Chain A
């Protein structure tokens, strides 16, 4: 659905270079990062919804892109109101969107690692219940080729041996009834930009309660790093069992059950 819409827009604006009718909406705000792709991505992702840059949305990442194949990012929109959608994207990546997350019954927080194909703006956009989008981010300097280098497991040749291995843990966070869930996959996350290796990536993930209620779900793109690691904050308490249900572009299913620990381990290493 949404993925198809994006494809159509990309074809319409990019490949065929068809004249695009003027939008019947107010223009997007000027991009503080002055990215050449801001207008195009805004149109694709935000459509006719109102958009503004908002410092309360925290797009967090390290000061140095040590590994362009695996750049840690965290999008934290706690405290900005009811969030229905969270998108992490890098303007100048050939696959701009990394994660498109809907926190149904979860705190608006998502962290992962993405590929960087060159120096690029890295952004987080969150959509509030009223439809407006809040955007944050910055330029990240990176060596090239994060999307077009073969995954390490392809070079080693052992990717198939470990495909589907999942690791994870969950901890209660006492303050707000949410938990902290971390889950990792062994998966090559092939972008399709390496010769003779077609696109192959995990594309859907849902976190559910024991009763099967969806707490959060996301679309995942091949710009997420090889062996994806994802951190979320679903609403769950100590002892609850969370299910992580994912699927890749070959239709392979991934299923994990993770019990929320009895005790939070958080205080031992609280970030600054």
Chain B
């Protein structure tokens, strides 16, 4: 058999990762139906890594009579563009609204691909992105490199100050909550009863706490529990058809985290040791549990020390 030079070269190139060749890697976006007219794109249940291009957050597509509505937009311009193309092909309608659930870059930096006038977020989220966006952007470029190419910080152009929005008869309730961050948007699709929790909900994936207020987070979980709904879409992890499991798991993790770190400070553990404590078996199925525990030690330990360790300095003689 005669093998052309071109085919041989193509074969060699095919065996190498695209990045090694300076080629552009593309995101794989696979929406899965979770309710009538609602798709979830399941992010990688892992830390932000070059291998996943930062596509770790769940993204939601809603087909409404007025057009396509998105909840969160992924980590980068490239993701946002691919998402727009996939969503519009799926519904056959243009994207008319993009909600940003909270300030974190894995959820919001993809809005660079959209007209800011259709991007909506809670006022506090917009203020937080204005304050922290540059730092997030630096961190994302450092970790993800080429995946982030061309991604600029864009502020959502619409402030959410109403409790619901109607898209040609398909109405969503907009819940202004907090706890995972200073402003967390949760959304209820009235037609199907699907609850979109943003990062207030983690499911089979350990919650992250870089901007968390655990007491407020608990209050928000209570509010979500009291909101009648069917299935729940978490910010990270698989769809929860029961609608209760993700809420319960998130609540149990943050309760354990707070009591375990409190116990660690009271027992004289330093931060390295606190990051190495045993994780209870009930969380053994949670992805990224050790990773998030160690991040949470970094976020929460100094505050717990300041609260729990007594003052010991002797006043000047």
Give residues in A with beta carbon < 8 Å to B: 60-64, 66-67, 70, 72-74, 111-113, 143, 164-171, 180, 182-184, 227, 229, 231, 244, 254-258, 265-266, 268-272
Whether B26 is near chain A, meaning CB under 8 Å from some CB there, is: no
Known: A164-B313, A167-B311, A231-B270. A272 touches B277 (CB 8 A): yes
Chain A contact residues: over half helix, strand or loop, or mixed?
Answer: strand
User: Are A257 and B267 interface neighbours, CB within 8 A?
Assistant: no
User: Are A182 and B271 interface neighbours, CB within 8 A?
Assistant: no
Please give the number of chain B residues whose Cβ is less than 8 angstroms from any Cβ of chain A in the complex. Answer: 37
User: Are A66 and B305 interface neighbours, CB within 8 A?
Assistant: no
**Residues in A neighbouring B314, C-beta threshold 8 A:** 255-257
**Residues in A neighbouring B260, C-beta threshold 8 A:** 269
A251 to B114, CA, bound (A): 57
User: Are B267 and A168 interface neighbours, CB within 8 A?
Assistant: no
Residue of A182, A255, A271 near B309 (CB, 8 A) is: A182
A-facing residues in B279-306 (Cβ within 8 Å): 290-291, 294-295, 297-299, 302, 305-306
User: Are B267 and A229 interface neighbours, CB within 8 A?
Assistant: no
**Residues in B neighbouring A170, C-beta threshold 8 A:** 268
**Residues in A neighbouring B310, C-beta threshold 8 A:** 167-169
Which single residue of chain A is at the shortest CB-CB distance from B276? A271
Closest beta carbon of chain B to A1's beta carbon, Å = 28
User: Are A266 and B267 interface neighbours, CB within 8 A?
Assistant: yes
A184 to B304, CA, bound (A): 12
**Residues in B neighbouring A66, C-beta threshold 8 A:** 210, 294-295, 298-299
**Residues in A neighbouring B142, C-beta threshold 8 A:** 143
Known: A182-B309, A229-B305, A272-B278. A111 touches B267 (CB 8 A): no
A231 to B305, CA, bound (A): 12
Closest beta carbon of chain A to B16's beta carbon, Å = 24
Closest beta carbon of chain B to A209's beta carbon, Å = 16
Whether B10 is near chain A, meaning CB under 8 Å from some CB there, is: no
Known: A167-B305, A167-B310, A229-B305. A62 touches B268 (CB 8 A): no
Whether B138 is near chain A, meaning CB under 8 Å from some CB there, is: yes
Q: With A62-B272, A64-B294, A165-B313 given, name 4 new contacts (CB 8 A).
A: A66-B294, A72-B270, A168-B312, A184-B309
**Residues in B neighbouring A73, C-beta threshold 8 A:** 272
User: Are B270 and A63 interface neighbours, CB within 8 A?
Assistant: no
Known: A63-B291, A271-B276. A227 touches B302 (CB 8 A): yes
Known: A182-B309, A271-B277, A272-B276. A70 touches B294 (CB 8 A): no
A72 to B269, CA, bound (A): 12
**Residues in A neighbouring B299, C-beta threshold 8 A:** 66
A-B residue pairs in contact (CB < 8 Å), sample of 23: A64-B47, A64-B294, A64-B295, A66-B295, A66-B299, A74-B273, A111-B271, A112-B270, A165-B313, A168-B310, A169-B268, A171-B268, A183-B312, A184-B309, A231-B270, A255-B313, A266-B267, A268-B266, A268-B267, A269-B263, A270-B277, A271-B273, A271-B276
User: Are A72 and B297 interface neighbours, CB within 8 A?
Assistant: yes
A124 to B130, CA, bound (A): 40
Which single residue of chain B is at the shortest CB-CB distance from A112? B270
Output the residue of A61, A66, A184 with the most chain B CB within 10 A. A66
Residue of B138, B210, B272, B295 near A61 (CB, 8 A) is: B272
Whether B275 is near chain A, meaning CB under 8 Å from some CB there, is: yes
**Residues in B neighbouring A257, C-beta threshold 8 A:** 312, 314
Residue of B47, B263, B271, B276 near A113 (CB, 8 A) is: B271
Whether B139 is near chain A, meaning CB under 8 Å from some CB there, is: yes
User: Are B309 and A60 interface neighbours, CB within 8 A?
Assistant: no
A73 to B278, CA, bound (A): 19
Output the residue of A227, A231, A266 with the most chain B CB within 10 A. A231
User: Are A167 and B272 interface neighbours, CB within 8 A?
Assistant: no
User: Are A166 and B312 interface neighbours, CB within 8 A?
Assistant: yes
Closest beta carbon of chain B to A264's beta carbon, Å = 8
Question: Top 7 A-B pairs ranked by shortest CB distance?
Answer: A72-B271, A66-B298, A111-B270, A167-B309, A166-B313, A62-B294, A256-B312
Closest beta carbon of chain A to B25's beta carbon, Å = 21
User: Are A256 and B313 interface neighbours, CB within 8 A?
Assistant: yes
**Residues in B neighbouring A63, C-beta threshold 8 A:** 290-291, 294
A270 to B270, CA, bound (A): 11
Whether B264 is near chain A, meaning CB under 8 Å from some CB there, is: yes
Closest beta carbon of chain B to A183's beta carbon, Å = 7
Closest beta carbon of chain A to B272's beta carbon, Å = 4
Closest beta carbon of chain A to B103's beta carbon, Å = 17
A61 to B309, CA, bound (A): 22
User: Are B276 and A265 interface neighbours, CB within 8 A?
Assistant: no
A-facing residues in B165-194 (Cβ within 8 Å): none
Closest beta carbon of chain B to A225's beta carbon, Å = 9
A186 to B188, CA, bound (A): 45
User: Are B270 and A229 interface neighbours, CB within 8 A?
Assistant: yes
